[in-house]
Structure 1
Amino acid sequence: MVREPGTTPFQVDLRRHLREHEEDRDLTRVICEIATASRYVINAIRTGDLGVAGTSNLYGEEQLALDVLSDRILRKRLIHSGVISTIASEETDEIINVNLNGKYSITYDPLDGSSLVDVNLAVGTIIGIYRGDNVLQRGRNMVAAMYILYGPRCTLVYSTGSGVHEFAMNSLMEYTLIQEHVKMQPAGTIYSPGGQRNKYSPGVEKFISSLEAKGSKLRYSGGFVPDINQVLIKGQGIFMYPHLEGAPNGKLRLLYELNPMAFIMEQAGGAASNGRERILDIEPEGIDQRSPVFIGSKEDVAMAEKFIAEFG
């Protein structure tokens, strides 16, 4: 069944949508297992321990109990799918081998922005899916990417390389279609800038000034998933977490955060760059790799690259 872009038929659930698009059965199984896992993550957010876990992740950051629990929930569901070869989670310090005969490898951030839960701000889960047993591939090799936003509504956005589609969780905790083929406008009027501005390079500072001069509005929550979701669903604008003085690689992780979001943004007609090259073309050197990012409307991302090339 083929629908016109932008149509929102009643009660098309996630599994049916994947079937209608004739996705691989095993890929459908993986995506639906992740959707199921999100139900338990939601419950953990609502009722779970907001304290620290007494452990740290591979970046040396203190883990929250919710991070650890969310990681366990997702890992269990992914293993349950029976088709996963390897898993790389932001919360573990090594790649986990699951099934030598598995068809897909997964990278994920189980609860991005978890430190915002105690002040009741939106957080999310980010997933990248690759064919084969190697997670250290360029992002352009992904077969699918998705994120789940735990906000006032719980929404799921996914792409398998044929557009970007948004779903919302209903009262039965099932995901039903909101809109198909989400599209980005060439340029936007909102911007979400991460990092301390007094540590921006001259090129980034001039880019920000140019956005302000044209009347762009600052919209930044401190959460990567909600801020990207705002840009994507409004169909315009740019999110950035640039290189900083003392942090030339920025803050965000290539495998767990940037590649999946870049894949989705490009599928919606947007762009994602580290200021010099396409995010999806970066060759990962390790699971802990970070990168600056400028992601959103194509013209805004191109303008960021221009200012960085000219002013540094």
Structure 2
Amino acid sequence: MSVNAFGDHGPQHEKLGTVLSAIASGVEDIAQLLRSGQTSGEVGTVNSFGDKQLEVDIAADDIIFNRLKQSCAVATASSEERPKEITVGGQGYAVAFDPLDGSSIVGANFSVGAIFGVWKGDKLLGRTGEEQAAAAYAVFGSRTSLIVALPDPGATTGKTVQEYTLIHQPEGSVWKLTRDNIKITEKKVFAPANLRAAAENTTYRNLISQFILENFTLRYTGGFVPDVHHILIKGGGIFLNPVSPSAPAKLRLLYECAPLAFVVEAAGGASSNGTESILQLSITSLDLRTPISIGSKEQVQKSLGCLA
């Protein structure tokens, strides 16, 4: 993918285009890896967060690190599989990523994803999601899609959200812009994650009952990326992941929540941890986790009580 494949945003964003092109190339590599069906087993190790690692996790992680190094536009990178600020030899940006979000459902052949946050400079710790220069996520399903939130001074939020689809051709694969200026409004769709928290979190349990009584449609896959993607592409809805004493937060601010919140808010949606936008939270630790509600503004507002 060329530097300008994500649109012409001026010379000040040329290196950002290079970073996003590297991410797109990595996503294409991971799509091919998943189609091979040869990396479904556990490797018998865990990452520093205590998560079991699959062969596909490690392979996808290597792919993205290699692509970022080759770009020469990334100074620092960090992933869920290697949660350190790692110098990768370039200059311009720092990238945090989850190379395969939802890898636990790969065996069931569900859609899974990858998540990317891009910050200008060479640091990730101490930053906020609002400071991201761009964010992206990929969905690996019946087709491979890449959603990107980019600077766009002409947009209401100063950002635009685009969908690219990987098109396979005899002469090679290409990315095609398939949706531009994606927007989120209000739709009666909900994805209730960490549902076991509802056993102790009565506000969450009551909210779920309210959704049912108001004839909301349930759309939940067990994967953060595909559930948020459904909200984005269908034009509205809510994903929520509250907590309780015995069901604490699992989603990480740096690798998962901040990038997806950047995309959703750029599309006119909202995100919250119960008290403020996810984008306002300081990344004080690479392992910082947070409850999250994300999607349509009105529905996120209604969910705040079950998050705090």
TM-score (normalizing by structure 1): 0.90
1:20 to 8, 23, 33: 8
How much has 1:229 moved relative to structure 2? 0.3
Backbone CA RMSD of aligned residues? 1.7
Name 2:181's counterpart in structure 1: 181
- Unaligned 5+ segments in structure 1 are 1-12
Q: Distance in 2 between matches of 1:216 and 1:201?
A: 20
Deviation of residue 283 (structure 1)? Answer: 1.1
Inter-partner Cα distance in structure 1 for 2:29 and 2:232: 26
Which residues of 2 match residues 9-88 of structure 1 at below 5 A?
15-22=3-10, 24-47=13-36, 48-88=38-78
What does residue 299 of structure 1 align with? 298
Find the aligned partners of 2:52 and 2:109 in 1 and give their Cα distance: 20
Partner of 1:218: 218
SS at match of 1:304: helix
Shift of 1:98: 2.0
Mapped pair 1:113 → 2:102 = yes
Residue 152 (structure 1) aligned with residue 142 (structure 2): yes
Q: Is the 8 A contact 1:14 1:177 kept in 2?
A: no
Once residues 62 and 227 of structure 1 are traced to their aligned partners in structure 2, the CA distance between those partners, rounded to angstroms, is: 22
The 8 Å contact of residues 28 and 166 in structure 2, kept in 1 or not, is answered as no
Change (3 A) 1:284 1:219: same
Counterpart Cα distance in 1 of 2:200 and 2:99: 29
Mapped partners of 2:199, 2:288: distance in 1 = 21
Aligned-pair distance for 1:212? 1.6
Question: 1:211 aligns to what SS in structure 2?
Answer: helix
Partner of 2:161: 164
Does the Cα contact within 8 Å between 2:117 and 2:259 map onto a contact in 1? Answer: yes
Aligned letter for 2:8?
E
Counterpart CA distance in 1 for 2:217 and 2:142 is 22
Instruction: Please report the TM-score for the alignment, with normalisation by the length of structure 2.
Output: 0.91
Q: Cα distance, 1:14 vs. partner?
A: 6.9
1:20 shift after superposition: 2.7
Runs (5+) with no aligned partner, structure 2:
152-158
The worse-fitting range, judged by mean Cα deviation, of 205-214 and 160-169 is 205-214
**DSSP-derived class of the 2:239 partner:** strand
| Preserved contact between residue 14 and residue 175 of structure 1 (Cα < 8 Å) | no
- For the residues of structure 1 that align with 2:45 and 2:99, how far apart are their CA atoms? 16
What is the CA distance between 1:308 and its match in structure 2? 3.6
What do residues 257-306 of structure 1 show as CA deviations (whole Å, max 9, x unaligned)?
A: 0000000000000001112211011112210111011000000000111x
Match of 2:154 in 1: none
- The aligned amino acid for 1:159 is A
1:103 aligns with 2:92: yes
Change (3 A) 1:273 1:200: farther
- 1:205 partner SS: helix
- Quote the Cα distance in structure 2 between the aligned partners of 1:105 and 1:146: 14
Quick one: which amino acid aligns to residue 193 of structure 2?
G
Other structure's SS at 1:130 match: strand
